[in-house]
A and B are shown apart, each in its own frame.
Chain A
Amino acid sequence: MSHVDLSVKIGSLTLKNPVMPASGCFSFGKEYAEFYDLSQLGAIVVKATTLEPRLGNKTPRVAETPGGMLNAIGLQNPGVEQVIADELPHLRQYDIPVIVNIAGTTVEDYVAVAERLNDSEDVDAVEVNISCPNVKCGGIQFGTDPEQAAHVTASIKRVSRVPVIVKLSPNVTDIVAMAKAVEAAGADAISLINTLVGMNIDLDQKRPLLANGIGGLSGPAVKPVAVRMTYQVAQAVTVPLIGMGGIMEGEDAIEFLMAGATAVAVGTANFVNPHACPEIIEGMRRWCAERGVARVRDLQGAAWKETV
């Protein structure tokens, strides 16, 4: 089989391949390290980290839906101090960039977390979560208003010593306006999409199944929405995109690259199959090799021939 160059660049970060686990779907990596060598990944995005520890929501926190799932974990995390001390150092042994997802209630919270992470040598980039639908003050207010999104992005850019990736919510009317706003505010890259706000009802109990009521929909059910948003945003901004939403196999990842993403993140698939990420990487390699694609990055935006 012919050699395929899978490497891509996200700003100043070089990834050996375009695949990273999505924030919140991989904890801090230890559980998956029992299944495979994390060095195989293009990068790792760890669970959202807030200034103070958060307990998260009551259970049930997950529910299956057709072709997907709802979750309302509620940003459970041990707080930035413990993340720096206990969760990040073990990732140093792997030869991959570590991206820390950060969340907060106020701009000051985000800035404080970003500043604190400056002191850790184990952080290669931050991903700003302005899109968690599952906490009242989890940042989604920043994710639905372009001005607020730009404000939090610029504030973090001013203090952060590492590249700043902004993760957008799909729960907006105009995703391109959101993307342009955070790009203008200095974002080095954009992740999209976070989950779609959803709900299902427990018929016996006559109430929403999740304890939180609403939750975030993910999995193959959201993939067409994510691909469409990637396609639109990629043609409207110049910063690299990390596309995600329902990627289960290599061909799904290829689809996001063709829509305009530079790299991809894998979320729900990790819950279904702990080996999902390495299998998707291998699937991309095989897909390219069978078609004589020498560099996976050449596929970026390949679908733009048609205008929508």
Chain B
Amino acid sequence: MWLAFEAPEELTYTPGQFLHIRVTEGNDHLLRRPISLCEVRESDGRRAVGIAYRISGKGTKRLAEKKVGDTLDILGPLGTGFPLHDGDQHALLVGGGIGVPPMVELAKQLTAQGTKVTSIVGFQSRLHAILIDELHQYGEVLVATNDGSLGLTGFVTDHMTDELLGTLDRFYACGPTPMLHAVQRKLDGRVPGYLSLEERMGCGIGACMACVTSCRLADGSVGYKKVCKDGPVFPAPKVVFE
């Protein structure tokens, strides 16, 4: 589902940050839903913020019932997004399923700073494919589906040839945990990059300790970091998958 709303003038954001959204008023659905900022579009001096999400439960179903003109209670943008590196010549964007949306704004900003962008996106099937045209505006898009109904049959990592990897300065990935783990294994030590993690959240601002993930800490030990505040984007080598 696609949802867009007008941005307040003072909005500042980085790609990879998320919006924490109340799906209803009242107490039926208490917890906010964290949804990645997909793209900010400007026209006639006005800015529109777009998000793309999947109806995965009762809360997102309620969100999908919103109509044009309704108001939404949104906290954000929150979290630590994808850092952009000035001198990068070529960046690889890897998105899996509902992890693809943040790649659109990232691709736009990388392109704007002169970094060439190649995207690899993976979906269960052609029916689940989203945002391929949007990403294609910024460079080549390689597609993989589990059932082969679109692009290559297999996983995003199957597109990661030595030839491609040899040209990269950086990678950025967002998607389901098994995909991120596979990407980390494939690219660790070869290409520096970032992983954007997903976890069930409470407050979204770092207070409730609900959305922790294991990370390699500065002293080399393994401890918890908060996905909502320290992340959702982490340097890939720091993330410890269990």
Q: Choose one: A25, A76, A219; the contact of B30 (CB below 8 Å).
A: A219
Q: Convert A263-299 into 0s and 1s, putting 1 for each residue whose CB lies closer than 8 angstroms to a CB of B.
A: 0000010111010000000000000000000000000
Chain B residues within 8 Å of A271, by CB: 30-32, 202-204, 207-208
Q: How far is the CB of A200 from chain B (nearest CB, A)?
A: 12
Docked complex: A6-43 residues within 8 A CB-CB of B: 24-27, 31-32, 34
Q: In the bound complex, do residue B206 and residue A27 qualify as a contact, i.e. CB atoms below 8 Å apart?
A: yes
Q: Contact between B28 and A66 (Cβ–Cβ < 8 Å)? A: yes
User: Of B112-120, B166-174, B209-217, which binds chain A?
Assistant: B209-217
| A259 interfacial by beta-carbon distance below 8 Å | no
Q: Total A-B pairs in contact (CB under 8 Å)?
A: 89
Which residues of B in the span 174-232 have a Cβ within 8 Å of any Cβ on A? 199-213, 223-224, 229
Known: A31-B203, A69-B31. A61 touches B210 (CB 8 A): yes
Chain A minimum-CB-distance residue to B58: A64
Contact B27 A27 (CB under 8 A): no
A248 CB-CB contact with B under 8 Å = yes
A290, B186: Cα distance in complex, Å: 65
Residues of chain A with a CB closer than 8 A to B212's CB: 56, 59, 61, 76
Q: Which of B31, B207, B213 contacts A272 (CB 8 A)?
A: B31
Q: Report yes or no: B209 in contact with A56, Cβ–Cβ below 8 A.
A: yes
Cβ-defined partner of B208 (8 Å) among A59, A62, A67: A62
**A68 surroundings in chain B (CB, below 8 A):** 30
Q: Is the CB of B207 within 8 A of A64?
A: no
Closest CB of chain B to A22's CB: distance in Å?
Answer: 11
B211 touches A59 (CB 8 A): yes
Given the contacts A27-B206, A27-B209, A61-B212, A272 and B32 also touching, CB distance less than 8 Å: yes
In the bound assembly, the distance between CA atoms of A39 and B32 in angstroms comes to 26
Residues on A with beta carbons closer than 8 Å to the beta carbon of B27: 67, 219-220, 248
B237 within 8 A of A: no
> What is the CB-to-nearest-CB distance from B234 to chain A, in angstroms, rounded to a whole number?
15
Residue of B nearest to A221 (CB): B27
When C-beta atoms are compared, the residue in chain B nearest to A272 turns out to be: B30
Cβ B202 vs Cβ A76 within 8 A: no
State whether A71 and B30 are in contact (beta carbons under 8 Å apart), knowing that A55-B224, A64-B59, A270-B203 are contacts in the complex: no
Which of B27, B204, B224, B229 is packed against the most chain A CB atoms within 10 Å?
A: B27
- Which residues 47-81 of A sit at the B interface, judged by CB distance below 8 A? 47, 55-56, 59-64, 66-69, 71, 73, 76
Identity of the chain B residue whose Cβ is nearest the Cβ of A77 in the assembled complex? B209
Alpha-carbon gap, A248 to B200, bound state (A)? 22
Whether the Cβ atoms of A31 and B210 lie closer than 8 Å is no
Known: A62-B201, A272-B31. Is A73-B22 also a contact (CB below 8 A)?
no
Quick check: B200 and A60 within 8 Å, CB to CB? yes
Seed contacts A27-B208, A31-B206; 15 additional CB < 8 Å A-B pairs = A25-B208, A26-B207, A32-B205, A56-B209, A56-B212, A59-B210, A61-B202, A62-B31, A64-B30, A71-B202, A71-B210, A73-B208, A220-B27, A268-B30, A272-B30
6 closest cross-chain pairs (CB), A and B: A27-B207, A62-B210, A271-B203, A31-B207, A60-B200, A220-B27
A-B contact pairs, 24 of them (CB 8 A): A25-B208, A27-B208, A31-B229, A55-B223, A56-B209, A56-B224, A61-B202, A61-B212, A62-B208, A64-B30, A67-B27, A68-B30, A69-B202, A71-B202, A220-B27, A270-B203, A270-B207, A271-B30, A271-B202, A271-B204, A271-B207, A272-B22, A272-B30, A274-B203
